[in-house]
Amino acid sequence: LQKVLILLHVTTCVVIGKTLMILFPNAMKRYILKQGEKSRMNENPKFSYENWGPTFFSFKYLLFVLKVKWKRLEDEAHEGHPAPNTPVVTFNGEVRHLFDFMQDNRPLILNFGSCT
């Protein structure tokens, strides 16, 4: 059910976005460039709007967003439910899954932190 709702939401957003790009191309260009500022995408002079702007609200864009959002569903943890078997990357770059590190009945402790 969650995947169907995500499909409907993303498809609706893409259809509306594509329609607005056709009806108001200059306004949508300004909006997309404003969004690009947040991710600092606009700082690279070799990566102009013409390279990436028209890809917004395309079929490839729709598929990519769906893939990301559906993958994130698997990574959500809810109280009282089993933990997700999230993919993780080891120090040597190997992709494993969280449950690969469980040993017998021992609890698996996750420690998150950052170095700044």
The pLDDT score that the predictor gives to residue 115 is 67
List b or e across 13-35, with b for residues whose CB sees 16 or more CB atoms inside 10 angstroms: ebeebbeebeeeeeebbeebeee
CA 42 to CA 68: how far, in whole Å?
A: 23
CA 114 to CA 44: how far, in whole Å?
A: 28
CA 60 to CA 18: how far, in whole Å?
A: 13
- List the pLDDT tens digit at each of the 116 positions of the chain: 788 999 999 999 999 999 999 999 999 988 888 887 777 766 777 777 887 788 888 999 999 999 888 887 766 777 888 778 888 888 898 999 888 888 888 888 877 766 65
CA 47 to CA 107: how far, in whole Å?
A: 47
Q: Is the pTM of this model over 0.85?
A: no
Dihedral sign computed on CA atoms, order 38, 43, 49, 52 = negative
Residue 68 backbone zone (phi > 0: left; psi -120 to 50: alpha; other: beta): alpha
The pLDDT score that the predictor gives to residue 88 is 83
The pLDDT score that the predictor gives to residue 20 is 94
